Amino acid sequence: MNLCLFDLDHTLLPLDSDHEFGEFLIRIGLADPLEYRRRNDGFYQQYVAGTLQLPEYIRFSTSVWRELSLEAQADLQRRFMAEVVLPAIQPQALQLVREHEAQGDLLAIVTATNEFVTRPIADAFGVPDLLAVGLARDSQGRVTGEIHGVPSFREGKITRVEQWLAERGHALADFERVSFYSDSPNDLPLLYLASDPVATNPSPALEAVARERGWRILRLFS
> Mind telling me the catalytic residues?
7, 9
Q: Kindly provide the residue ranges of all beta strands, DSSP E only, lying in 77-205, ordered along the sequence.
A: 106-114, 130-137, 143-148, 178-182, 196-200
Rounded Cα–Cα distance for residues 47 and 45 (Å): 5
Burial of 214 (0-12, 13-18, 19+ CB in 10 A): exposed
| Residues 161 and 180: beta-carbon distance below 8 Å | no
Rounded Cα–Cα distance for residues 181 and 8 (Å): 9
CA atoms within 13 A on the CB side of 44: 17
Burial of 46 (0-12, 13-18, 19+ CB in 10 A): middle
